[in-house]
Amino acid sequence: MADAPQDYPTIDPTSFDVVLCGTGLPESVLAAACSAAGKTVLHVDPNPFYGSLFSSLPLPSFPSFLSSSSSDSVPSPSSTTPYAAVDLRRRSLYSEVETSGTVPEPSRRFIVDLVGPRVLYCADEAVDLLLRSGGSHHVEFKSVEGGTLLYWDGGLYTVPDSRQAIFKDTSLQLKEKNLLFRFFKLVQAHIAASAAGAEAGEGEASGKLPEEDLDLPFIEFLKKQHLSPKMRAVVLYAIAMADYDQDGADSCERLLTTKEGVKTIALYSSSIGRFANAEGAFIYPMYGHGELPQAFCRCAAVKGALYVLRMPATALLVDEEKKCYAGIRLASGQDILCQQLVLDPSYEIPSLDMTCSTPVSNSSRKVARGICIISSFVKQDLSNVLVVFPPKSLEEEQVTAVRVLQLSSNLAVCPPGMFMAYLSTPCTDTFTGKKCINKAIDVLFTTKASDDLEGHLETTSENSKEGVKPTLLWSCVYVQEITQCQGTSDTALSCPMPDENLDYRSILESTKKVQFLSILYYSCQKVGKKIWLFVEVMEPFGLFLASCQYGMISYHVHIK
């Protein structure tokens, strides 16, 4: 895309408080936060669109994005500052890209998420953040009204997630209903008691689960509640969204504890009914997830942040004396100085301390993703719905859950009569990950011969009778690497990348850490500045934030 030498704009001024490269969600949130706090912000992105690794692309530009993000940096050797330059390199995150089928025309009307399958819980932090920052004015959401389906015994089973759903479920035995609702009530009582306890200080613990139960593996707790295997699968994989097989004894660190499980259920249940016009717990942004970083960028821009797209960064400027980064060199050759640098996770930040820390080579976490265009819904009349394949449901060796999100044209991500389906599963090697994704695709869809491809727009609605699988028209399966966010308390920080989760919780958690690092950095210089964003007690940092005013949080720093 940036083949011919371009006319890059010259940026003025040449010095900022914060410079961010890449417009992914974490960078955009930080840009909005920093500009709201009154900092001068420059936000650049090598791409001609917002979102970086978190963007949504028209389908025709999608394959080239997957292959081209491993950009070859063109060192531009002009130097206008006294600092030494270290070349920036970008790594490729995507591998094993495999496409099949043909994209129905008009292909530009298919909008593809890079982070799919992903949703927001109505009550999660991402929604709060949008509301608090004003980003919610720029995005519109629709609910995933079909709820969650669990693949069980070769069929799709609607997950009973409320009292009414349990009542209406005809496949459950009476005793199962009783036990399941009893379990929900127990958890609800615990959540209510915890909330009340938090409000009124500790003390009265009626309704709370005992500590020893909270430390128990969640699956053990569920067994204690006499839940049947199917109900356990419902709670573990379709409500608590566990990724790994909880029955396997070998993967101990991947075992969900009751505390974690209950936390997700609490989020899930507070999500239901938070917004009167939302059905179910999940919402999805219209036009795709790429709208979210854009919304935050707009917030930042409103507060004065400077935005330059199509502007790659080529090198970092090093202050040799202080042994820290002092700025960035852009593709235009211009050097920008700044106090704080925040980089998209595809940039590799070279370490200044040559002796010890080596470039990132953490345990390689991966996520296998699949994107499909299908001709009809997976279950009658459900336009947007989540499907979960619990471990071992596709094959004996399957150790991770596979999640599938089916989206319809009411989200403006595909033309009417078509559906998009996103799949993902965490994996350690590309082979098993892709195998799982492909298996799930085979189970859900048929790859019928292309004989009825013509005119499918008209005929699909009739084909989609109960029991008839949707036809797979186009699919793309690939593997994305997830490297840990390697922020050291330095002036150059790297943001988290899209993870294997269904929501943004852990991404925002990591973003928070990045922000705290930068707060910490600043606070050493100026204490008492106001910054909005996260209200939280951060014991490890010896930091606590309080007194929320109109979305502004004044913070105090205590360094122990």
The minimum distance between CB 230 and other proteins, in angstroms, equals: 16
Contact status: 448 vs other proteins (CB under 8 A): no
From 175, 322, 323, 530, residue interacting with other proteins (rule: CB under 8 A): 175
Q: Pick the binder of other proteins from 89, 109, 138, 177 (CB under 8 A).
A: 177
Is 223 a binder of other proteins (CB under 8 A)?
no
Shortest distance (Å) from residue 228 CB to other proteins: 13
Residues in region 181-210 near other proteins by CB under 8 A = 181-182, 185
Neighbouring-strand partners of residue 113: 56
Establish if 556 lies at the interface with other proteins (CB under 8 A): no
Sequence-distant (6+) residues with CB within 8 A of 316 are: 85, 86, 88, 325, 327, 328, 329, 341, 349, 350, 492
Please report whether residue 224 would count as binding other proteins according to CB under 8 A. no
Whose Cβ is closer to other proteins: residue 163's or residue 263's? 163
Q: Binding of other proteins at residue 171 (CB under 8 A)? A: no
User: Which is closer to other proteins, CB of 164 or CB of 525?
Assistant: 164
Residue with tokens 């002092």: 326
**CB of residue 363 vs other proteins: minimum separation in angstroms?**
44
Contact range with other proteins by CB under 8 A, out of 92-100, 107-115, 161-169, 315-323: 161-169
Question: Cβ closer to other proteins: 108 or 168?
Answer: 168
Please report how close the Cβ of residue 119 comes to other proteins at its closest, in angstroms: 25
**Residue 163 or 310: which CB sits closer to other proteins?**
163
In the DSSP assignment, the letter for residue 288 is -
* Smallest distance from other proteins to CB 155, Å: 21
Residue 168 binds other proteins, judged by CB under 8 A: yes
The binder of other proteins chosen from 115, 179, 236, 533 (CB under 8 A): 179
- Tell whether omega for the bond before 13 is within 30 degrees of 0, i.e. cis: yes
Sign (positive or negative) of CA dihedral 186, 192, 194, 200: negative
- Beta-carbon contacts of 532 under 8 Å, excluding residues fewer than 6 positions away, are 33, 36, 37, 132, 133, 551, 552, 553
The bridge status of strand 41-44 relative to strand 15-21 is parallel
- 163 versus 208: smaller Cβ distance to other proteins: 163
Binding other proteins (rule: CB under 8 A), the pick from 164, 206, 363, 549 is: 164
- Are the C-beta atoms of 193 and 206 separated by less than 8 Å? yes
Are 62 and 295 in contact by the 8 Å Cβ rule? The answer is no
Q: In terms of DSSP bridges, do strands 141-143 and 94-101 run parallel, antiparallel, or are they unpaired?
A: unpaired
Site size for other proteins, by CB under 8 A?
13
At closest approach, how far in Å is the CB of 174 from other proteins?
4
Please measure the distance between the N-terminal and C-terminal CA atoms of the chain and give it in whole angstroms. Answer: 50
| Packed helices 174-199 and 258-271: angle between N→C axes, nearest 10 degrees | 90
Count Cα atoms within 13 angstroms, Cβ side, for 482.
Answer: 19
Closest by CA position to 444, among listed 369, 381, 388, 500: 388
Q: Indicate which single residue of 138, 163, 230, 448 sits in contact with other proteins (rule: CB under 8 A).
A: 163
> Stretches 176-184, 306-314, 412-420, 497-505: which one binds other proteins (CB under 8 A)?
176-184
Is 431 a binder of other proteins (CB under 8 A)?
Answer: no
Q: Which tokens sit at 226?
A: 């006499």
Question: Within 10 A of 455 (CB to CB), how many other CB atoms are there?
Answer: 8
For the chain, give the number of residues: 560
Q: For binding to other proteins (CB under 8 A), which residues are involved?
A: 163-164, 166-168, 174-175, 177-179, 181-182, 185
